[in-house]
Structure 1
């Protein structure tokens, strides 16, 4: 028996959207982890960094970007574009990418000796008075630390075994060898015995670890390898079995030296996917040289930030942080508007110095010109579809396994329509709606627990060509005469 007044909560009939991160870069490459401040340097581990200082502390920093490719992204994204966060994945493993240096002599001047070699692993350092002598004791006989250039400086300790008259020391150490890293390390895989992931396979761990979805996949210095590019394409279309993002890739500038050869290389190496944005050539800013994909990520993130994270606007005609375009050997490449448009017409993003300084130039994905569907051929439209799809998955995951009834259907339809109406009012889409159509939901599927909600949406295409027809109108000659 119940006697009185009671309250019972019912589920909210409209759900607020859980929007996906559209431009979070996930970057694969090598880092100077011998300079990491962490107790255990990160190897094949996603590292989320919101600032340049965080990245340097976790992964180290060295301006030899050819050896340590992740440092290029650190400098570009955090310092030049003031964007974040970034997920870095270092594949340089000191357990395998190393070389041993034994009994090397260094000069001792005023009680200090410097090892002018990059990548020395400080814990591996062994210091002796002579090659035949016994190892000295760190903290008792000497101290060793990195200087600002990344070299190891050894200082004698008064009262230790190193006397003031000592002029040389003998050192042995393990040195990182970035040159031994191969594209296979970047591609990675799954360890058969432990099940641990390496390389590009680790994109699957980003969302479970950080609750942030990958928005852009990059591997500057590696993405010009066709096998790496193929795997990046595959990963961008199937993250955690549900999500999609865009991969930013480069065409090599050491072998492709003429802009007219870039489209043929792109086609021959299958850089033709709708989830790929392909760049040629490189960029320079003073003495720094960047892969264009690195700065394209900065431009995309900057534009998305301006638009509340909604990726509806193209990165094209937005500023690069550059003073020129170059090949791998440093030769300058100056593309006119006709040459840049030629590359755009082949689905290649190019740098252009035409009006307003150096800018990103190109709206098309790598699928163009073979594919002209605006969803597959325009970068912002492709990204909007990915973002909307990812957001729908995140929002309605909470409704999975709820009873298939009218309340569920109405909740989904009302929630999505309200969200799409808001996007339309803000100018992010031209229009959108969702429908639960009987024709798409046969009885057998409903009995089996499968529901289909058809989303119609139209993001704006970029105004790629604006025309002004000019005509001479003789009727205005009448103004020469008095009224």
Structure 2
């Protein structure tokens, strides 16, 4: 039975009246979609490889070098992953016991990735999921047993030995030999005419994957068995993480370069600048303009975007370091055989692969001999395989791909990207990403998202597009420039810059050490103008305010346009002025000015002549509208009365006064008109308010009326000026 109401005493009810603060939603965040070389990020997980020696995670050892991505089983039986490279301490650390917690060990940082010794080597399967080697089954040594070259066993020390040579029947002795304990060293078993030569290939148990990929399990924590046959062991893979892998098909927030930041930086997230990939280049260019934040979506996936090398013949050198330079970066699914394709060599036992740089190194004591010719089957990273549809993306069953990932940003980060770009790389290298905002399909998708997020999108022309072609494309069907969208900024022509990225097919090898040498392009070529304009716009927001136009602001890093173009701000017939008059933002350069963004108006001009075709005006209006929308959530569902109406008006008018004080508005007021709010509408829970405001338009043209006034000659008196005058 409910208790009695308050009968005898004093009670209080608290109400909040008056204005509530309204925060301006960040307008300077850039949205970027494109390609990134995740394979070159330290600790990147490789794709599954055929004939690959896979082993379980080893235990901890003192004073041992550890690379990012290395795994071990700690004293608690849990799996730790190296996330900061270095050298382990002289004694075991106190291991963290919580998932994702870190342990400092000498100069190494370990992160606990699995409770229990469940994690060994990892790979990305053909479905894009992460598989982890959770069990290794390998035969034990047998007495008086006939072995063949390539067979594996686990010796009495628990290490993996491989048959690398046999004589006669290749029969083991009646008693186990004294096993070698150093990687690459050999043990002769039953010396004589029927001997077996073993080579130590792994500390701990190991097995060899099949020559063709297994049918992968697709359910989390389910397993896949992977083997060639009984003599080479079995790898049990467990699906430990569903794809996509980190930083693929997800919105990732990247902060601008800050020397005081402890963040890993853009290269630690998306990899270094490698020619052909757009995201590292775009980040470099926009941050050079002072831009603060980028929400980047990488759509490049080694599983899908590659070129195959099919049984190409390569030769190891006759002497010296046994290294083959495949000639491409980002290798995957590597299979190496003899030229007759009768022997398949084992990765990790016969050779190692520098997947990032495309270098194959033969191991000493392996089945590969100096100077041998081999056939290599593999794939290499090729962002030219990206299509417009990869950039545009879809939303299917709650899965977001491509630029559709930007829709998730507010829920994850509290803000949307407002300056949207999808630059191409161009034809500077054969593997360059060719698709981008110069394609009408991508431009249309950018426009749609800009509208839904109240942002602006920046659309490019192709490399080598002349002013005349840009103008004709404004009216040509199927062209990205054929639009009157007020949220689209047309950018052209492309701009030249000094390319300091890595040449993907220019890797060389140190002939003494066999170590890959990454060669820098150090060349000049064209880049889409959109990245530069978006970067200047974002940097301008931070330095002076989003209500300032990006026009007439210097561009850092631009060397000039990729086509000849006549610049003048005093000649109406200049090509710059003509482009601006058709809603195209371009680059300006005159004597002593440096290169500058030039143009205030969106693609809505000249079809529309309202003030919001000025990019700065449109952005101010977007900021007001969205900021007010989001701030009004606190008033939703409150009882409608005069106090509520007054609080809303006070909040909005206070916000508008703040913008006026900053210079973002000339004037502005919010009001409640009873004529727009009939009783029937209010009874239905609906209120309508009016906001009247005017952002400052940019001073696009200054005109001086100059008059030659002969009456001024009457000021002549004929009197000579005195020295004191």
What is the TM-score normalised by the length of structure 1?
0.87
Q: 2:489 touches 2:585 (CA, 8 Å); kept in 1?
A: yes
The aligned runs of 1:159-308 (5 Å cut-off) are 159-162=365-368, 165-191=370-396, 194-221=397-424, 222-239=436-453, 244-254=454-464, 256-257=465-466, 259-268=467-476, 269=479, 270-286=482-498, 287-307=524-544
Q: Distance in 1 between matches of 2:282 and 2:566?
A: 24
Task: After superposition, give the CA deviation of every residue in 1:125-165 in whole Å (9 maximum; x if it has no partner).
Answer: 33456643233242x4444335xxx52233444455555x3
Shift of 1:260: 2.6
Name the residue aligned to 2:34.
29
Shift of 1:185: 2.0
Name the residue aligned to 2:603.
366
Q: CA RMSD in A?
A: 2.5
Secondary structure, counterpart of 1:410 in structure 2: helix
Confirm whether residue 16 of structure 1 aligns to residue 16 of structure 2: no
Secondary structure, counterpart of 1:42 in structure 2: coil
Secondary structure, counterpart of 2:36 in structure 1: coil
Secondary structure, counterpart of 2:312 in structure 1: strand
The aligned runs of 1:263-412 (5 Å cut-off) are 263-268=471-476, 269=479, 270-286=482-498, 287-307=524-544, 310-321=545-556, 322-327=558-563, 332-337=564-569, 338-354=574-590, 356-375=593-612, 377-412=613-648
Q: Distance in 1 between matches of 2:330 and 2:451?
A: 36
Name the residue aligned to 1:83.
291
| Structure 2 unmatched runs, 5+ | 1-5, 46-244, 258-263, 425-435, 499-523
Shift of 1:313: 0.3
Distance 1:99 1:436, change over 3 A: same
Distance 1:4 1:460, change over 3 A: same
Secondary structure, counterpart of 1:238 in structure 2: helix
Shift of 1:184: 2.0
Q: 1:250 touches 1:280 (CA, 8 Å); kept in 2?
A: yes
Q: Distance in 1 between matches of 2:14 and 2:365?
A: 77
The aligned runs of 1:65-80 (5 Å cut-off) are 67-78=276-287, 80=288
Secondary structure, counterpart of 1:100 in structure 2: strand
Q: Distance in 1 between matches of 2:680 and 2:607?
A: 38
Secondary structure, counterpart of 1:125 in structure 2: strand
Tell me whether 101-110 or 199-208 shows the greater mean CA deviation.
Answer: 101-110
The counterpart of 1:59, out of the listed 270, 281, 299, is 270
Shift of 1:210: 1.7
Q: 2:33 touches 2:279 (CA, 8 Å); kept in 1?
A: yes
Q: Distance in 2 between matches of 1:132 and 1:407?
A: 87
Shift of 1:435: 0.5
- Structure scoring higher RCO (CA < 8 A, sep ≥ 6) equals 1
Distance 1:103 1:15, change over 3 A: same
Distance 1:151 1:440, change over 3 A: same
Name the residue aligned to 2:312.
104
Q: Distance in 2 between matches of 1:290 and 1:129?
A: 43
Name the residue aligned to 2:300.
92
Secondary structure, counterpart of 2:452 in structure 1: coil
Secondary structure, counterpart of 1:407 in structure 2: helix
| Structure 1 unmatched runs, 5+ | none
Distance 1:4 1:32, change over 3 A: same
Q: Distance in 1 between matches of 2:715 and 2:624?
A: 55
More strand by share: 2
Name the residue aligned to 2:354.
145
- How many residues of Structure 1 are paired with residues of Structure 2 in the alignment? 458
Q: Distance in 1 between matches of 2:8 and 2:650?
A: 36
Distance 1:145 1:436, change over 3 A: same
What is the TM-score normalised by the length of structure 2?
0.59
Shift of 1:173: 2.1
Secondary structure, counterpart of 1:267 in structure 2: coil
